[in-house]
Structure 1
């Protein structure tokens, strides 16, 4: 599939963030990625999932949620990677930018969050209920979204490795708190990073199916 790539700078809450846009010829939706703690827009797992989504005519946005200076601070202290409010606020600002600047046209917006990024994605979805139509969590910590969980209207898919027992329990708790359409899927034999043969491909296929299905329709009010 013909996919156009570009690097852009997106204003978000008084900072400017660097993002890679991958734009299919006729995108049926756009998925904004929120990486996990200590990662970046170059995360090989998220890049692999993004390419799989591109093959299904879904545009993708891979973004660094911290500035270069903040990233250097976080590498020393790890104090920003767990600041869910900060990360969610920036995701919401990027959602607003996508809706206003429309680099993907009128394509509906979904969020894909990994690890702590999943919590930020859910908080952003709760903050932008009219714009975010679907959320997928990969090995996520949705429990860190706190009271925002019961405000999420977008359909949410929670993907967890079958060997990631503690995270399975946390996702089961989050599933019970999410009020809308929600599904918890276990990838058998997979650990937290889905490094086992075929595990990440299952994640990408499940995510593509979820977004393809749910980005088509407005969220019921």
Structure 2
């Protein structure tokens, strides 16, 4: 007997890149975008008004980058553990039922949609950690000194660039909190769906 085509499509993704592309079908919520945008503007103004020398700005950037990587790695472990528990405990019959229904905005079936909600956060965290690590390596390799001495970039312009980078990093910490908020809601919502589905089928 041939396998149902809608179940065959569950294994279409052949690499982590394919899974990442799948998660891009799920946009950030409007609330998260607004809060992140406002925090970025506010923190840029605060950093701009508190502008210091190049040495102090670089020192602050190094300190915060180290802290940011540590926080993001901790959150990554927390989310990965939560997703593992969710994936192992979710009822298989419910997952098959979700696979047969399509989520309107993303055009994914609800099974992939529910899993991508969690996986998207993991990918976002990995990308943020990579970006912070890249900034740290650039500072360690004295890229900013090279830009001044060999490229001839004005020091004041470089200070403004560092202020912008600091502001993005600071506001990205707000984004980490927003991702955590979304993760908690997704866990709660999935549990409620599972219990509701179980109750409905128990009556039948």
Compute the TM-score of the two structures, normalised by the length of structure 2: 0.22
The structure that is strand-richer by fraction is 1
**Which of the two has higher C-alpha Rg?**
2
Compute the TM-score of the two structures, normalised by the length of structure 1: 0.21
Query: Which structure has more RCO (C-alpha within 8 Å, separation ≥ 6)?
Result: 2
The structure that is helix-richer by fraction is 2
